[in-house]
Amino acid sequence: MLVSSFEKSPKGRASKAGKPDWRGLRVLSARLEPNRLAWAALQHDHVVDQAIAILNDAFNPAAAVQEELWACDGLWGPYWPGHPFGGPTLLNTASLTEPQVTRELAWWLNASVKGGGPRARAFLKAMTASAANDEADDWAAFIETASINTEAEIDPTAAGRNRIRSSDRRLDLFFTLAAPDGIRRHVIVEAKLEAPLSPGQLSGYFQNTRRLQRPLHVFLGVRRDPALKRNPKWAYCSWRRLLALWEIEVAEAGDDDLAFRFFRSELFRTIRRLK
C-alpha cells in the first residue's frame, strides 16, 4: 500500500503495481487539493517518503500533464518551479480575511522588505494591465522606472497629504509612484473578498483622492459590484486575473522566496474558494 489517503477518494487510489494512479493524481492536482495527498504523511510514518515522492510528482508533472493543468498559462499563471502550487503548502483550511490580505500584501510589496520593490512593480504592472485599459502601456512604462511606496489602511482624507483629518474608513491599498524626474502618480485600491461595498464608499474615496497627481482608482474584487455603474471613475480588476498576471511577472523575475510563495499559496487558495 502506498498512500492510504488515496482511499479517501475513489479518484485517488494507488494501483496494484505499487505506483500512483496518475489519473487520480491529475484530478487532485487540478482541483488543487494537496492536503488529501499529504494526509498519509501525517498519519502513517512508514509511508512518509512515498507520500513525499507522490507529492513531488504531482507538483512537478511530466510535460503532458503540465499541458493539461496549465494550458494557456493556466488559471493561476504560468507553470514554473517557484509557483505557489508547485511546492510546499500550509496544511490548513482557513481563508484569509480582507484585512489580513491587504496588510500582508502591503508588507510584501514594501520597499523596505527584501525584494519588495520589484514585487510592487510586478504587482502594479499586472493590475494596470487589467484595469488601466487604453492607458495600460503608458502605466507599464511609468512603473518600470518609478520608485514605489506601498501603504495599507490609509485614511482617505490624508492620502498623499501632510495634513491628517479623522475618518472611520480606510483605503485598503495606496501606492505612490515617483518617477526620476519627480512626477508622481497614485493607485488607490479598494479590495473586497466577500464583504459588500458600503453605500457611498467608492464615491467618498474618490472625492477624497481625486486631486492627487494622476490617480488610478481600482476596485479589486471577485466579481463586478453593481456600485461600479454609479462610479465610472473606478476601474474593475478581478482577483483571479490579477493573480494570474502577477504570477507571470513573478515567474519572469524568478522570485522563488519560500515565505513569499507560502503567502501567495494561501492567497490563491482564499480566492479559489470564493464563488
Per-residue pLDDT tens digits for 242-272: 999 999 999 999 988 888 888 888 888 888 8
Three state DSSP letters for 11-46: CCCECCCCCECHHHHHHHHHCCCHHHHHHHHHHCHH
**203 pLDDT tier (thresholds 50, 70, 90):** very high
**108 pLDDT tier (thresholds 50, 70, 90):** very high
What's the average model confidence in pLDDT over 89-113?
80
Residue 238 phi, psi (nearest 5)? -80, 135
Q: What pLDDT sits at residue 196?
A: 87
Instruction: Report whether 1 contacts 28 (CB < 8 A).
Output: no
What's the average model confidence in pLDDT over 69-87?
58
Q: What is the pLDDT of residues 17-47, one digit of tens each?
A: 444 443 444 444 444 444 544 554 455 555 4
What's the average model confidence in pLDDT over 237-245?
93
**93 pLDDT tier (thresholds 50, 70, 90):** low
Name the 3-class secondary structure at 150: strand
* DSSP letters for 63-75: HHHHHHHSGGG-T
